[in-house]
């Protein structure tokens, strides 16, 4: 199964943590990492904007990704949240297996 890292920018650590916790509880993501204090500069509705945000990195797989996208969109306060899935080409096999084992149906935690 193809593993993905999903990038989601959030307005603050509380929103990022809430989304991460929900997706891990729902077994749509194996893990969520919060990287606070990123500085985003972007164009929105014709204006250049600048915000301090928190980057949320979610680990999931191809089967769960459509549900991840849908849930993040439903939980996120932004009108158009950043949701980008990047395939993982290589990784520690035991870690990649842990991601797969953590998703979907009830599984035994390692």
Q: Sheet holding 3-10: strands in order across?
A: 31-44, 47-61, 3-10, 84-87
Per-residue pLDDT of the chain (110 residues; tens, 9 = 90+): 899 999 999 999 999 999 999 999 999 999 999 999 999 999 999 999 999 999 999 999 999 999 999 999 999 999 999 999 999 999 999 999 999 999 987 644 44
CB 19 within 8 A of CB 32: yes
Q: What is the pTM of this model?
A: 0.93
pLDDT at 109: 47
Tokens 């929900």 locate to: 22
């Amino acid at each position: 199964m193809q593993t993905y890292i999903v990038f989601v920018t959030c307005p603050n650590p509380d929103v990022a943590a809430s989304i991460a916790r929900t997706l891990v509880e729902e077994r749509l993501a194996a893990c969520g990492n919060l990287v606070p204090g990123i500085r985003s500069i972007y164009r929105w509705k014709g204006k250049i904007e600048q915000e301090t945000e928190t980057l949320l990195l979610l680990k999931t797989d191809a089967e769960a990704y459509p549900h991840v996208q849908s849930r993040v969109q439903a939980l996120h306060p932004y009108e158009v949240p950043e949701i980008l899935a990047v395939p993982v080409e290589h990784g520690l096999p035991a870690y990649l297996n842990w991601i797969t084992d953590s998703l979907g149906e009830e599984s035994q935690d390692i």
